[in-house]
Structure 1
Amino acid sequence: MLRIQTFTRKEIVAYLDDLAQLRISVFREYPYLYDGSLDYEKEYLQTFLEAKDGIVVAAFDKNQVVGISTGLPLAQEPASVIGQWATEDVASIYYFSESVLDRDYRGQGIGVQFFQTREAWARELGFRQAVFCGVVRPDNHLLKPVDYLPLDQFWQKRGFTKKEGYFAEMSWLDIGGEEETTKILQYWWKAL
């Protein structure tokens, strides 16, 4: 029995470890290749609950967390994430931070529900645009799986288009790395 739930600050505490572990697991996959820690992830998730107008949406199979999706106003992100959007009306832009889904639950419409839930939330709050970004890796990356399919088509079906020249910078430790390195992430956007 799959269910989607939007969390309040109080409700998420019971699931924080599970949500954090899922992020670590999914973001280890290509193209993110993220070597995360439980403590960092729990603190990261707390920011969405403390942020004004932040949202955390989770998917469950019975009581098992199988997906998570988050968002908050772009203006609450650091300058390295806001990037070129700083030249726009940042207060009108809602940022979809991530959607991660356990591999066994992909292709069942959960990702679509994540986007729909966050879009409805952002519209209700009066935001006029929704944006998100995805990491850019070279086509010949050594850890790129042979059968890898980028999510571009999925995002386009949700009405998003690539915003050329708009990027975010984020740093994290790659699997097998010794220190964090800065990554470039391409922005996608949609009018709400």
Structure 2
Amino acid sequence: MAKDIRIERWSGPALEQFIPELARLRIEVFRDFPYLYDGDIDYEKKYLQTYINCPESVIVIAFDGDKVVGASTAIPMKYETDELKKPFLDQGYNLDEVFYCSESVLDKNYRGLGIGVRFFEEREAHAKDLGGFKYICFCCVERPVDHPRRPADYVPLDQFWNKRGYVKHPELNTTYIWKDLDDVNETPKPMTFWLKHER
């Protein structure tokens, strides 16, 4: 970890001050493969408001001085959308026992410094502080191997997630809809969950 980078956990109304920077960073990072998200600043601001409004959520922020260079969001699953909750309900999970790590975004110039590991550690620590969770999870988009926008040097993060203790659960899947870069319309994207047992 670069010694001038600091990682902090934020929750509630105090996050308001960071919304413009967080929205900008999310749009910038999610333009890359595999998300290819053609972002909208107003949507992002509205999306982030969910975390400000939920007292049990957390946004882990990476700072270089006063500059926001990365962020990672998490929230108890019971506060999430129906699309995310449905696969867990269908498989018989108690939503009160599931903590959802939504997304992590990090400026390209700050990758490889251990910040991604800290994002997971801080979100898991927040879940532990809240108490009562048996599972921590996240989901990722599934793109075909021959996708035309897949970079030749692209390396999936499966190994990184496995080292953090997460296991892919194909039976836990959902669909999200967004507009890819250069597309005219929104299209459905398959999403698969990864799960870690806390106890």
TM-score normalised by L of structure 1 = 0.96
2:111 to 106, 122, 142: 106
Q: Secondary structure at the match of 1:11?
A: helix
Residue segments in structure 1 that go unaligned for 5+ positions in a row:
none
Match of 1:143 among 130, 138, 149: 149
The structural deviation recorded for 1:50 is 0.8
Q: Give per-residue Cα distances to partners, 1:98-135, cap 9 Å, x unaligned.
A: 11111111111111111001101111212111000000
Identity of aligned residues (%): 44
Alignment partner of 1:59 out of 62, 68, 71: 62
Q: Deviations over 1:57-96 (max 9, x none)?
A: 1101111111110011111112211232112111100000
In structure 2, distance between residues paired with 1:83 and 1:189: 15
Detail structure 1 runs of 4+ shifted over 4 Å in the superposition: none
* 2:169–2:192 contact (8 Å) kept in structure 1: yes
Task: Specify the alignment match of 1:116 in structure 2.
Answer: 121
Tell me the number of residue pairs that the alignment of Structure 1 and Structure 2 aligns. Answer: 192
Contact 1:81–1:170 under 8 Å retained in 2: no
What code does the residue aligned with 2:36 have?
L
Name the residue aligned to 2:163: 157
Of the three residues 69, 72, 75, the one matched with 2:75 is: 72
Deviation at 1:32, TM superposition (A): 0.2
Question: Structure 1 residues 52, 11: CA separation in 2 closer, same or farther (over 3 Å shift)?
Answer: closer
Residue by residue over 1:125-151, the C-alpha shift from the partner in whole angstroms, topping out at 9 and shown as x without a partner, is 121110000000000000000000001
In the TM superposition, residue 53 of structure 1 has moved relative to its aligned partner by: 0.9
* TM value normalised by structure 2: 0.93
- Residue 19 of structure 1 contacts residue 68 of structure 1 at CA under 8 Å; is this kept in 2? yes
